[in-house]
Structure 1
Amino acid sequence: MLIYGTERKGCTYNIAQEVIKQIEDANVTEIFLPRDLPEFCISCLRCFSEEKGTCTHSNYTNPIRQKLLSTDLIILTSPVYSYHVTGQMKVFLDHFANMWIVHRPEKNMFHKQGLVIATGSGPVYNHSLKEMKDSLDFWGVAKTYKMGFAVYETRWKCVSVKIKNKITKKAKKVAKKIQKNNGKVKPCFRVRKWFFVSKMMQKYIGSNPPDVEYWREQGWLGRERPWR
């Protein structure tokens, strides 16, 4: 599944397409922002206080949630805007904050792989990569790869051949890892660490009762683990 932080089919879009081209038999669902999620999170807190899927904008978020759950690979992309991700990518991530490990993570997220892609006019993409990777890690995505490039252009056709060759080489390398680990990936240390930290929080602090009840129903307050 590919989520684009802008509707513009520029450099970031083309890099994502290069990765997909390298993955055999890829069946891709594409989400373009803000087209497919045009509403800002309004802090109604329904996703934290009620059942999953009760977002004020559930007509947009529920179909996206189902696609996130049914895919093996989640790719988040964003050009660098003001040193960070685009506003619409931030809006997207805000709408799914209740899936963070500390709240009500989805069990099958712990078996997925992720990829974050960011481009900048210079080497300023690290903040954007981190913002997207943080959400994938805290959703429980087992393994996330990063691809950041200084393209020094806003138009893909004007990007130098040298940089495009570098992108293709990196895309092939990442795609190979993704295919090799498909169906066999185990949660990285950061994901496991936050699972156990969150378990202690739910077990001994329990500041949000719906979250505690969810963890209890999953058996995660005991010996059950979502990646087993």
Structure 2
Amino acid sequence: MKITIVYGTERKGATYNIAQEVVKNIENSVVTEVFLPRDLPEYCISCFRCFTEEQGTCAHSRYTNQIREKLLWADLIILTSPVYSFHVSGQMKVFLDHFANMYIVHRPNKEMFHKQGLVIATASGPVYSKTLNEMKDSLDLWGVAKTYKLGFALMEVNWDKISEKIKKKITKKAKATAVKIKTNNGNIKPCFRVRKWFYVSRFMHKKLKLNPPDVLYWEEKGWTGKVRPWHK
């Protein structure tokens, strides 16, 4: 299985190690990694080129094009972030902002509708739900068929100081999630939320025609007709 992991921090702490715990339970996997902000050090400048022109015209395309290729290559996309101020890290938000043009309502990639996703977040208490949902929102709206969530309340920032009891809990959940991912690999259909957004977007592009570049993209794909991106 091909896996792309995007880390919301360069620090190899808890979220990094939890992702590794999942991956080691997926046999014969090939992994590529993106560390933020190292691999995407620029803020989105709201130039709107990605919405008004073709994909790949981002002002920071020297970074985003390489990352986009890694996302499209993968069977499984993993996003990780520690909780910062009850939300994702700033660098993870910057990453998500750069790829909003891949949302279903704009110009989604057909490949996304056949992928699985996993979001991982950690905090000093049980306050990771917003962080998980922020990352899952983007995966859902990219068209990723099925996304799993792993959140943990950890009192330590140093992985080596986390108690064995909590590490056993992490290992157990990581293994269970890996089993689900392996079972569904290559045999996954988009969840209700993904299909709902597809049909809402289809109506907008077919009837309202609000953004001409998006409308043209959908028409060329045949999605305003009978073609569906999740059909092989």
Deviations 1:196-215 (A, max 9, x none): 00000111112110000000
Matches within 5 A, 1:83-94: 83-94=86-97
Matches within 5 A, 1:104-115: 104-115=107-118
Supply the distance in 2 between the matched residues of 1:158 and 1:117 (Cα, whole angstroms): 19
Query: Could you tell me the percent identity over the aligned residues?
Result: 72
Query: Structure 1 runs of 4+ off > 4 angstroms?
Result: none
Supply the distance in 2 between the matched residues of 1:21 and 1:72 (Cα, whole angstroms): 16
Supply the distance in 1 between the matched residues of 2:54 and 2:223 (Cα, whole angstroms): 18
Query: What is the root-mean-square deviation in Å for CA atoms of aligned residues?
Result: 0.5
Consecutive unaligned residues of structure 1, counting only runs of 5 or more, are none
Of residues 136, 155, 158, the one that matches 2:158 is 155
C-alpha displacement at 1:171, in angstroms? 0.4
Supply the distance in 1 between the matched residues of 2:205 and 2:90 (Cα, whole angstroms): 31
What letter corresponds to residue 13 of structure 2 in structure 1? G
Residue 125 of structure 1: aligned partner:
128
Deviations 1:13-68 (A, max 9, x none): 11111001111011000000000000000000000000110000000000110111
C-alpha displacement at 1:151, in angstroms? 1.1
Of residues 71, 74, 78, the one that matches 1:71 is 74
Residue 148 of structure 2: aligned partner:
145
Residue 220 of structure 1: aligned partner:
223
- Asked if 1:61 corresponds to 2:67, the answer is no
Consecutive unaligned residues of structure 2, counting only runs of 5 or more, are none
How many residues get paired?
Answer: 228
Supply the distance in 1 between the matched residues of 2:21 and 2:197 (Cα, whole angstroms): 32
Deviations 1:127-181 (A, max 9, x none): 0000000000000000000000001111111111111000000000000010111
TM-score by length of structure 2 reads 0.98
Matches within 5 A, 1:158-169: 158-169=161-172
Supply the distance in 2 between the matched residues of 1:184 and 1:128 (Cα, whole angstroms): 28
Of residues 43, 46, 59, the one that matches 2:46 is 43
TM-score by length of structure 1 reads 0.99
What letter corresponds to residue 145 of structure 1 in structure 2? Y
Residue 100 of structure 1: aligned partner:
103
Residue 171 of structure 1: aligned partner:
174
Residue 198 of structure 2: aligned partner:
195
What letter corresponds to residue 141 of structure 1 in structure 2? V
Deviations 1:79-110 (A, max 9, x none): 00000000000000000000000000000100
